[in-house]
Chain A
């Protein structure tokens, strides 16, 4: 009675608790970068291109140490540890996953913000209905940082003017 298996000629299934190779579901990822900040091994990178207006979240399984910090950090459950453990390949590129997302463009000045369209969408979605100045927040949220600051200053100036008048 042998206890070894004829691996790799028989398939082996990892247990349900297994922390295998992480994988990003590109449909769920909003490009928030939380996973990038959490990753101890720099297996995840965030690459922004403000010219083209894109953000790439790059996962390099070859650097990954399977710690599952990204899995814990991700707000949408886009990056998940799978039960796959077989990563041998002849092509190093097989180890790399890229999710490309569009950066949000400020409707006011037309420059790209440092968050993605999806992240914004998601943020607006989870904004509770009937919030006190909900509309105001919605109005500001879509602006880039500069325009938002300007709007805030303008508003303040206007408000103080009103007070003065």
Chain B
């Protein structure tokens, strides 16, 4: 382990944090339990939630503290109550600690005091437990629906255990079920963006309230792609199978999710992963970062009409995709990570392939960066646009390049060393400006860092097994697994269950923490930059929203017959 990693994961450092919290809230804490190496669960009463969480998150000396995830679970079959856990992490290279602040909520009184007024980053989480479990955050400033569709009936909570995963309640789309968008501020017009928009790539609906071309305010509606993956994971799939579904949460950062899930289960079940597997995981995660950042930088160029930069970035990226294909069998959804290790080894010929590709990539990328940054029109479009202040980034618990571009110095690879990162050296680029350009620069530097990480990992990779045997995972263990996806920290929480199945699985993709900050970055900018700003966050909708085709009006799934379809397209194309 490198010196820096030893410092961060030092037992004494961890204890200092934990002890301070225990000291301070001695009379409020019901139970403290250490779930895993770096994870402490602290049970308190629900009335104390805002105070305890506010204290940890807004602690003046613990700088990059943040709400990593929040989990609501239906533990009625176990304890007769619902539970909530706010997972708060210490970051900024100042100690490797996760606090799980847990509380139980009874069914007759499903209310709890909202933390959002103290820490806006809890906004979505609390709305989500309201939607899916029926737990009511009291004092929440924006209690509108978040996850469930507009026409989902009141009082049906899909994540409760008495809701079977194949259930489909009757839905009716009426005027009353229409989503209550905020009233446009006086003197503004509504500029709708999406749900389907060429430059958004995925469905998400924005309402930009504009004066002329200036964005005054923003409202949005997301979760068009909520697939109920968590529910399937808890009901239909075995531990091993979940891994592959987890990987398909996202088409870009699948490995980050698969890894976060595997690490969560490994932490809960005490599975030791062989060192070689850790290295392979690291290399795969970095290869994924390479392609994802190249994609995002390319799209940034595309969004401002600079197609040369776009195509060049994609050409570079293609070599990374081909490399992944040779290493794992596919361009994306590598299917490498399984609980206990990885599936394919890096044979010698594959190793030399990696070396060749990243060597060429470094050269090619440097050229690309020079060319793009010397394109004045491109820089002019990105500079000073979409500024997210440090304060806003922090109050929304933002992560990844989106936060690092605003001066937040946090990176799960360094702050909570997982996989083989603890054996490697790398920098975490941070920029203070908070504009689109800063985020592009963070990504550009990270690409070079990733190449460097891969090189080190290949050099230092030990021999040995790549997959640990594991027999049984003890039931009802809780843990979180975390990775630094290209877009920021991904956190998976698991509570193990019986019969080789999960009891509760909570996925938190990085975009989930980044998105709510978007309106802050967009206000005051021009409509022309809206898409660019959204893209600079590198949103990943399906990640965030974790399918079927339903007609919103009739609630029916309608499939066109082949004849109808041909008929329709013929009509459309020839106007007969």
Contacts and interface: CB of A to CB of B under 8 A. Distances in A.
Indicate yes or no for A touching B, C-beta below 8 A.
Answer: yes
Interface of A: 3, 14-15, 17-19, 38-42, 65-69, 81, 90-91
A65 B333 contact: yes
A60 to B, nearest CB: 16
B244 interface: yes
B397 interface: no
A23 B245 CA distance: 21
A15 B326 contact: yes
Contacts of A67: 244, 333, 335
Contacts of A3: 315, 318
A126 B125 CA distance: 55
A39 B322 CA distance: 26
Given A65-B333, A90-B562, A15 B248 contact: no
A69 B343 CA distance: 10
A66 B241 contact: no
Contacts of A40: 237, 240-245
Given A40-B237, A90-B562, A65 B328 contact: no
A105 to B, nearest CB: 32
Contacts of B325: 14-15, 17-18
A68 to B, nearest CB: 6
A90 B569 CA distance: 14
Given A3-B315, A65-B333, A17 B326 contact: yes
Contacts of B236: 42
Nearest to B246: A40
A15 B350 CA distance: 12
Given A3-B315, A68-B335, A17 B241 contact: no
Contact-residue size bin, chain B (C-beta under 8 Å from the other chain): 20 to 34
The 6 lowest CB-CB distance pairs between A and B, nearest first, are A19-B329, A40-B241, A67-B244, A40-B244, A17-B329, A67-B335
B106 interface: no
A65 B326 contact: no
Nearest to A72: B343
A69 B329 contact: no
Contacts of B248: 65
Nearest to A90: B562
Given A14-B325, A40-B244, 19 more contacts: A17-B327, A17-B328, A18-B330, A19-B328, A19-B329, A19-B330, A38-B240, A40-B237, A40-B240, A40-B241, A40-B243, A65-B245, A65-B248, A65-B333, A67-B333, A67-B335, A68-B335, A69-B241, A90-B562
A81 B322 CA distance: 18
8 contacts: A15-B322, A17-B326, A17-B329, A18-B330, A19-B328, A40-B244, A65-B244, A69-B241
Nearest to A69: B244
A81 B329 contact: yes
A40 B235 CA distance: 12
Contacts of A65: 244-245, 248, 333
Contacts of A18: 325, 329-330
B237 to A, nearest CB: 6
Contacts of A66: 330, 333, 335
B466 to A, nearest CB: 14
A65 B244 CA distance: 8
A20 to B, nearest CB: 9
A3 B317 CA distance: 12
Interface in B462-501: none
Contacts of B244: 40-41, 65, 67, 69
B330 to A, nearest CB: 5
B574 to A, nearest CB: 19
Contacts of B243: 40
A91 B566 CA distance: 13
Contacts of B562: 90-91
Interface in B211-246: 236-237, 240-245
Which of A3, A18, A67, A81 is most buried by chain B, counting CB atoms within 10 A of its CB? A67
Interface string B298-336: 000000000000000001001000100111111001010
Contacts of A42: 236
A67 to B, nearest CB: 4
Contacts of B335: 19, 66-68
Interface in B237-274: 237, 240-245, 248
B190 to A, nearest CB: 39
Contacts of B322: 15
A148 to B, nearest CB: 27
A1 B236 CA distance: 51
Nearest to B566: A90
Contacts of B240: 38, 40, 69
Contacts of B245: 40-41, 65
Nearest to B325: A15
Nearest to A39: B241
Contacts of B315: 3
Contacts of A39: 241
A69 B322 CA distance: 22
Nearest to A66: B330
Nearest to B248: A65
B91 to A, nearest CB: 33
A67 B562 CA distance: 30
B572 to A, nearest CB: 18
B263 to A, nearest CB: 19
A95 B325 CA distance: 23
Contacts of A69: 240-241, 244
Interface string B329-363: 11001010000000000000000000000000000
Nearest to A85: B330
A31 B240 CA distance: 22
Contacts of A17: 325-329
A15 B326 CA distance: 7
Nearest to B330: A19
A32 B574 CA distance: 52
Nearest to B334: A19
Which of B326, B328, B329 is most buried by chain A, counting CB atoms within 10 A of its CB? B329
Contacts of A68: 329, 335
Contacts of B326: 15, 17
B565 to A, nearest CB: 10
A98 to B, nearest CB: 21
B328 to A, nearest CB: 7
A145 B185 CA distance: 74
A17 B324 CA distance: 10
